[in-house]
A = this chain, B = another copy of it.
Amino acid sequence: MSIRGLFPIDKWDFKSESILMNLPDEDFAILSANQSEQPYSKGEVIFREGGYPTGIFYIKEGKVKKYKLIDGGEQIIYVANSGELIGYHAVLSEERFPDSAAALEESVVGFIPKEDFFEVLQRSNILSRRLLKTLSHEFTVLANGMTLFAQRSVRERLALQLIVLREKYKTNFKPGEPVEINLSREDLASLVGTAKENIVRILSEFKEKEILKTKGRKIVIYDVKKLIEIANYK
């Protein structure tokens, strides 16, 4: 049995992967009609907090961070993987973007104008129903995240994030091969909600416990079970 089976990672990881999959042909045609795609290089901003949304984004390749700017620094809220949809909250709530998005690696992102998105929402209730389900699930996951921040130590939070990130970076590696997480200490710190120095310190602790190794900025995970223990993951 896989770790994935034993421990429902997605309790801590909302995914919007399936929203646009297998929609009726007509709906799909509308969404495709004016769709455009664009490559983003590492670090490039896709949309910015406070901007007016003109459509939704679909990650075709790569990984994207969603983050909020906060006194000079940033707080990463979520790492979205290829296949996922981003930017639709602001479109649906008819507000400005509450957060920014930037590529974590070379990525390709598709764009669908909000008019087309709304047209499909209007036409069929399949998309509505899926979105309601996804948004409700996301709410649940975020509430878990809040509890995590409020009740767990930095060490526990880091352990859990490493488990979640390992799942995201899994796709880049062959099964059985140890997974390498390719994220700067600064981004990792921002995701965990602490300073980069603490991440470095706790990572070397984990190295001593033979949970992982670091290769420059890459973190190679060897012992997920110990991480689960440390994360006190339930």
A interface residues (Cβ-Cβ under 8 A, vs B)? 68, 70-71, 73, 75, 77, 88-90, 92-95, 98-99, 121-122, 125, 128-129, 131-133, 135-140, 142-147, 149-151, 193
Contacts and interface: CB of A to CB of B under 8 A. Distances in A.
11 contacts: A68-B143, A75-B150, A89-B139, A92-B136, A93-B136, A94-B133, A98-B143, A121-B125, A121-B129, A142-B142, A142-B143
A143 B71 CA distance: 16
Given A70-B151, A151-B75, A151-B193, A92 B146 contact: no
Contacts of A71: 151
A135 B146 CA distance: 17
Interface centre among A68, A92, A131 (most CB of B within 10 A): A92
The A interface is mostly helix, strand or loop, or mixed, namely helix
A142 B150 CA distance: 13
B95 A147 contact: no
A92 B133 contact: yes
Interface centre among A125, A129, A139 (most CB of B within 10 A): A139
Contact of A149 (B68, B129, B132, B146): B146
Contacts of A137: 93, 95
